[in-house]
Amino acid sequence: MTGALSGIRVVELSQVLAAPFCGYQFALLGAEVIKVELPDAPDCARGRGPLPELNARGIGVNYQVQGGNKRALALDFRSKAGRAALLKLAESADVFLENYTTGAMESFGLGYEALRQCNPRLVYCSMTGYGDQGPKASKGAYDNTIQAASGTIGQCNGVKPGLSFVDYAAGYSAAFAISAALLQRERTGEGCYISVSMLEVALSLMAPEAASTQAAPEAEKHKEAGISAYETADGRLMLGAFKPSQYRKLGTCLTGQGYDVGLLEQIHDWPDVWQHSAAIREDLQAIFAQRPAEEWQILLEAAGVPAECIVSLAEAVTAPQLAARGYFAPSPADPSLRLPLAGFRMTEGGAALHSAPPELGQDSRAVLAGAGLSGGEIEALFAEGIAK
């Protein structure tokens, strides 16, 4: 099956997570994605992961989850000859994706205006911590520092969530923007420049809170009983009674089991939820503590009230639900290693993992030849250490 993005060529100057993950979305859908790295400073994610033998080969697990289906070019684009080779490659590209610090590409002579001259149809996407304007535009960033700057950690009571969700969300945001720009190009014939800000992505993930705290900064923050976690007889349960009607369903369910929480029947709108949540939560905690979490989950789901046992990640990744959807696929580099695919399915042209993440410079000669460089020019780049 041909991927939905087959025929699209992406040149990806990426490192760590956000941009490599963005490029991975295109690679999974059939695009040709060429990962360009400096020979003396390759993507540090290559050496990260729980399996030392893969880290030593430069294909660590942290790299593999966003490196499959790509080709690898090791090229020192800081040099005059390396820059010329990259510009040649950009002539046939549809997308140029990078996540270096704001201004870095311009300093190498590889900014949007320079590449636009050789390819007016190019969609150029820069991913940075804070975007390309403003007092922090030139500041470097990682997921954890953006979580701090965006108020995410503050919103989580001072505790950093144990995952790099801003990086991944930024990758998806960039992939969406690039796809939109490619569609726009079909109408206009022109490419464009895209600036993705991790800070703005983080705030977008908290859109209701970010808007509300400006509209009414002194307003009381409500902790709603229906969407809280509760201790049960053998573990924790996350309740999902979000709408007022679900509060009433919860009341009916508990009444049928011999528990009376009269306030639940009085929930008809959001003010009711906010007014009575403290009292309801106290009653629910006493009730849920009497039975195991899984028993409560079954009862609540039968009553039309969402609920889930709180499980570990180790338990979650082995869930039959994920197996039924085929979410994990064997790594082409090591079939014993299972890697995440996309969180969606398509009847035609969907995500597929068919080739192993490339080692550093694995495809350098072939990529340079495909860009139109002669054999002599390619060998000169290797002899001078500009390519590897």
For the stretch 340-385, pLDDT in tens is: 999 999 999 999 999 999 999 999 999 999 999 999 999 999 999 9
Write the CATH number of the domain with boundaries 9-208+326-383: 3.40.50.10540
In sequence order, what E strands does the chain have?
9-13, 32-37, 70-74, 95-98, 123-128, 192-197, 229-231, 236-239, 307-309, 328-331, 334-340
The mean pLDDT value of the chain amounts to: 96
Instruction: Say yes or no to pLDDT of 241 above 90.
Output: yes
CA distance 357 to 337: 13
pLDDT over 90 (residue 124): yes
pLDDT for 250: 97
Q: Which of 43, 76, 94, 167 is catalytic?
A: 167
The yes-or-no answer on residue 167 being catalytic is yes
Q: Is residue 215 very low, low, confident or very high in pLDDT (cuts 50, 70, 90)?
A: very high
Cα separation, 315 vs 190, in Å, equals 48
Q: What tens digit of pLDDT does each residue of 4-22 get?
A: 999 999 999 999 999 999 9
Q: Phi first, then psi: what are they for 166, rounded to 5°?
A: -70, -45
Domain with CATH 3.40.50.10540 in the chain: 9-208+326-383
pLDDT band at 189 (very low <50, low <70, confident <90, very high): very high
* pLDDT, tens digit (0-9, with 9 covering 90-100), for 41-92: 999 999 999 999 999 999 999 999 999 999 999 999 999 999 999 999 999 9
Domain with CATH 3.30.1540 in the chain: 225-313
Average pLDDT over residues 184-196: 98
Residue written as token pair 């990682």:
142
What 3-state DSSP class applies to 339?
strand
Cβ 362 vs Cβ 74: under 8 Å: no
CATH architecture of structural domain 225-313: 2-Layer Sandwich (3.30)
pLDDT at residue 112 greater than cutoff 90: yes
Stretch 194-199: mean pLDDT, rounded? Answer: 98
Confidence of residue 219 (pLDDT cuts 50, 70, 90): confident
Structure confidence at residue 1 as a pLDDT band (50, 70, 90): low
**What local confidence, expressed as pLDDT, does residue 2 receive?**
86
Contacts (Cβ under 8 Å, ≥6 apart) of 39: 74, 75, 76, 360, 361, 385, 386, 387, 388
- Contacts of 162-167 with C-beta under 8 Å, sequence gap 24+, read 164/17, 165/205, 166/198, 166/201, 166/202, 166/205, 167/16, 167/17, 167/18, 167/21, 167/143, 167/198
State the Rg of the chain over Cα: 25
Q: What's the CA gap between 100 and 123, in Å, rounded?
A: 17
